[in-house]
Amino acid sequence: MIVKQHLIFILYSLCANVFKVAGTKSKAKGSQGQFPITQNVTVVEGGTANMTCRVDYNDNTSLQWSNPAQQTLFFGDKKALRDHRIELVRATSQELTIRISDVSLSDEGQYTCSLFTMPVKTTKAFLTVLGVPARPEITGFTKPAKERDVITLTCTTSGSKPAAHIRWFRNDKEVHGTREVNATGKSFTVRSSLKFEVDKQDDGVAYTCSVEHVSLSNPYLTTEVLEVHYAPQLEIRHSMIIPQEGQYFKLECVSNGNPIPEPVLWFKDGGELPDIERMIVEGRELTITTLNKTDNGTYRCEASNHLGTSSAEYTLFVYDPNALGQHGPDHALIGGVVAVVVFITLCLIIVLGRYLARHKGTYLTHEAKGAEDAPDADTAIINAEGNHVHAEEKKEYFI
Ligand SMILES: *[C@@H]1O[C@H](CO)[C@@H](O)[C@H](O)[C@H]1NC(C)=O
Ligand SMILES: *[C@@H]1O[C@H](CO)[C@@H](O)[C@H](O)[C@H]1NC(C)=O
Ligand SMILES: *[C@@H]1O[C@H](CO)[C@@H](O)[C@H](O)[C@H]1NC(C)=O
Ligand SMILES: *[C@@H]1O[C@H](CO)[C@@H](O)[C@H](O)[C@H]1NC(C)=O
Ligand SMILES: *[C@@H]1O[C@H](CO)[C@@H](O)[C@H](O)[C@H]1NC(C)=O
Ligand SMILES: *[C@@H]1O[C@H](CO)[C@@H](O)[C@H](O)[C@H]1NC(C)=O
């Protein structure tokens, strides 16, 4: 009998235990069916990433974060990996948030949040780390370049992930270069080259390399100013068309070239300048204080830099002011020029006179008449002015 009772007790205990387990299981159902919720995170290298994992309903089942190498980072509020960059932000029954600071490219990968139900439910979150490109460097500058040299400018930026974009600008205008991308570890080295023949016009031109990347709010810019050396080019400018004896006369040797060709040398008729007081050389200028017909001849200025020598010539013919009258063609030319100038001046005076008269008066037809009837310009102006005064008087009278 005692044995029988004992057996019943054992059965009862067993049943109770079975029910107890069943009860616990049904209670756990709250978190049983659901998966933890996570989000992908993108962070710039060196920045801080928050990794959040949530469950809507939870009894005291633990949450866990592990890294791409399957190492546990946090199990609930318990830190599992020794890495001072990884800290706990929040651990509740419904949330486990951790923070990874000073993120490096090697932190990138798939992180896993696990909910320790039976069986374990996991969700992946991808941590994307952006590599910040280094400030671009321009190489290939032969400083200074020579005219007609062929140079290749190369702009390089390393450390970007994903690969950065390089753009080139010649002053402010975009020009297109080549593109080459190499992977170096987890990031990329991007290189772009511009090849061109150097022209005189490139002197002082700014070449800018611009690096654009998702991790940068403003592109990184590097600028180099091209210096181009070129052979001199000379030109002579003179102060008057018809140099006459006794006048002051000046020749200027205008030179360009880089480096600036200096000094400027002056020659007359293939030889030295005559050593006379009237002739003064000052830098690029040759001044003859009082022209004399012995001064006529061919003047030449010459200048060089290390790329070459250049010269320019001017032939001076000194006119005798007294003889000018007898010079047929010259006289005609001067006469013609004077006549044209006088004619234009007269026309201007007439047009201006009529214009002013019309716009100041009230009675247009009356005023204009004076000018039209006039035998010459002066009379026209006088007539026009007279009428103008008259017109004003009339105006007052009528008011
Ligand atoms: C990460 O979480 C902390 C604490 O909630 C917050 O102060 C910080 O702004 C978050 N950082 C990012 C990048 O979301
Ligand atoms: C969770 O655990 C705490 C203490 O560890 C306890 O007070 C609470 O009742 C538990 N909650 C559930 C739903 O089991
Ligand atoms: C998270 O990133 C992974 C890998 O890049 C991608 O396959 C997945 O669709 C992303 N999930 C979300 C919710 O954006
Ligand atoms: C890429 O790799 C090639 C071959 O190793 C090398 O010649 C080239 O200079 C590299 N380019 C860059 C941008 O690093
Ligand atoms: C020109 O030079 C000659 C000789 O040097 C001199 O006799 C003459 O008076 C000069 N003429 C003028 C206009 O200066
Ligand atoms: C110089 O000018 C005079 C007249 O002014 C002229 O007779 C002479 O031929 C000129 N000489 C040269 C070299 O031009």
Q: What is the CATH number of the domain that holds 289?
A: 2.60.40.10
Give me the number of domains the chain comprises: 3
Nearest residue (CA) to ligand 6, atom 13: 297
Residue 65 included in any domain? yes
Higher-confidence position of 344 and 89: 89
Domain end call among 130, 162, 183:
130
In our burial notation (b when 16+ CB lie closer than 10 A, e otherwise), range 34-59 reads eebebeebebbbeeebebbbbbeebe
- pLDDT of 26 higher than 60: no
Apex CA 333: angle with CA 328 and CA 336, to 5°? Answer: 120
Average pLDDT over the chain, rounded to an integer: 81
User: Of 209, 291, 315, 314, nearest to 243 (Cα)?
Assistant: 291
pLDDT at 70 over 60: yes
The β-bridge relationship of strands 228-238 and 145-146 is parallel
Whether 244 and 289 share a structural domain: yes
Q: Does residue 324 fall inside a structural domain? A: no
Site to substitute for ligand 2 among 25, 60, 93, most atoms within 8 A of C-beta: 60
Q: CA–CA separation, 27 vs 227, rounded Å? A: 81
Residue 253: predicted pLDDT: 95
Predicted confidence band of residue 381 (pLDDT cuts 50, 70, 90): very low
Q: Is residue 181 part of a domain?
A: yes
Q: Is residue 331 part of a domain?
A: no
Report the amino acid identity of residue 199: D
Q: Which atom, in ligand 4's list, is nearest to the CA of 180? A: 13
Q: Are residues 160 and 116 in the same domain?
A: no
My answer on whether 217 and 237 are in the same domain is: no
Supply the range of the domain harboring residue 312: 231-316
pTM > 0.85: yes or no = no
* pLDDT above 90: percentage of residues in the chain: 59
Q: CB of 31 within 8 A of CB of 116?
A: no
Is 90 in the same domain as 124? Answer: yes
- Residue 30 CA: nearest ligand 2 atom is 13
Final residue before a domain boundary, out of 203, 226, 249: 226
Same domain, 222 and 276: no
- How crowded is residue 212: how many other Cβ atoms within 10 Å of its Cβ? 14
Domain's final residue, options 316, 344, 366: 316
Q: Tell me the C-alpha distance between 88 and 99, whole Å.
A: 6
Residue reference for tokens 């996570």: 38
387 neighbors 370 (Cβ within 8 angstroms) = yes
Query: Is the CB of 59 within 6 Å of ligand 2?
Result: yes
**Cβ neighbours around 374 below 10 Å, total:** 17
pLDDT at 101: 97
Joined together, the tokens standing for residue 331 give: 């006289």
Residue 71 has pLDDT above 90, yes or no: yes
Q: Is residue 160 part of a domain?
A: yes
What is the 235 CA–ligand 5 centroid distance (Å)?
29
pLDDT at 18: 38
Measured CA to CA in angstroms, residue 196 lies from 125, 152, 178, 223, 319 at distances of 49, 7, 12, 17, 52
Residue 308 CB less than 6 A away from ligand 6: no
Do residues 170 and 122 both lie within one domain?
no
Same domain, 155 and 205: yes
Pick the residue whose CA is nearest to atom 10 on ligand 2: 60
